[in-house]
Amino acid sequence: MAKTHEISVALRKDEGKGASRRLRRAGNVPAIVYGGGKLAPVSIQISHKDVLLASQTEWFYSSILDLNLNGDVQKVLLRDMQRHPFKQQILHLDFLRINENEEIRIRVPLHFINQETSPANKTAGCIIMHEITEVEISCLPKDLPEFIEVDVCDLKFDDIIHLSALKLPAGTAIPELKLGKEHDIAVVIAKLGREEVDAAPVEGAESAEKKEGEGDK
């Protein structure tokens, strides 16, 4: 199960573009918390320094967050984050309240392990491609993992690891796989590198060069 991470927030009294600009100048980020059945959306503000540090971690995007508003803790997921187009600045955040008895769908990171010792990694000219680095899963909040490990210790040249081969934690599923076999996409591929392919002789090229040389005589 993924750890929960607490973030201190405060109520946002004023709303509108002007109020949001003032908040940002004061070093805060405007945000909103919504969802949770009949609960009304709540406008909040968070320290930009705290948010910027959190945004550089995996857990901020794929874990349950505890928003602490003066002791009132609400469990949420990050649903949207607006960034400045060129400044290192976060402009706005959207958080979704969760019900601990209802399934959630969220993308979690993949961690690839034992790649260095795999047969594919020891094969000359072979490269290991990570086709995806995260996957969407469904589960109850209590079963949410921080990440999913992909063990490639037995990966050999020309092998492919598909979504269906991932070892999922108990209580989790990949909704994409319920849509049909064509959605069982590749996660890892071990194939010949581009340089090796380019260096391979093209069939008929040698004889063509020989004929061209004979014509020059």
Instruction: For 15-28, write each residue's pLDDT tens digit.
Output: 778 888 889 999 99
Question: Which residues is 182 bridged to in the sheet?
Answer: none
Measured CA to CA, the distance from residue 49 to residue 164 in angstroms comes to 40
Kindly indicate the confidence band of residue 206, based on its pLDDT and cuts at 50, 70 and 90. low
Question: What is the pLDDT averaged over residues 125-154?
Answer: 95
- Across the range 195-199, mean pLDDT stands at 48
Q: Which domains, and CATH codes, for the chain? A: 5-97 (2.40.240.10), 104-199 (2.170.120.20)
Q: State pTM to two decimals.
A: 0.78
* Cβ neighbours, 10 Å, residue 3: 9
Span 174-185, average pLDDT: 95
Each residue's pLDDT tens digit, 63-79:
999 999 888 899 999 99
Mean pLDDT of the chain: 88
Res 63: pLDDT: 92
Separation in Å, CA 56 to CA 6, 52, 61, 90: 16, 7, 10, 12
CB 69 within 8 A of CB 130: no
* pLDDT at residue 92 tops 50: yes
Determine the distance from the C-alpha atom of residue 28 to the mean position of all C-alpha atoms in its chain, rounded to a whole number. Answer: 26
Neighbouring C-beta atoms of residue 123, cutoff 10 Å: 16
In sign, the C-alpha dihedral spanning 141, 143, 148, 150 is negative
Query: What integer is the mean pLDDT of 173-202?
Result: 81
What is the spatial distance between Cα 159 and Cα 165, in angstroms, rounded to a whole number?
Answer: 12
Whether residue 169 has pLDDT greater than 90: yes
Supply the pLDDT for residue 197. Answer: 45
Predicted confidence at residue 196, as pLDDT, reads: 47
pLDDT for residue 21: 87
Is the confidence at residue 211, as pLDDT, over 80?
Answer: no
Farthest-apart Cα atoms in the chain, separation: 92
> Does the pLDDT at position 204 exceed 70?
no
Q: What is the mean pLDDT of residues 163-167?
A: 96
pLDDT(106) > 70: yes
End-to-end CA separation in angstroms for the chain:
76
pLDDT above 90 coverage of the chain, percent: 74
Dihedral angle, C-alpha 38, 142, 72, 51, nearest 10 °: -100
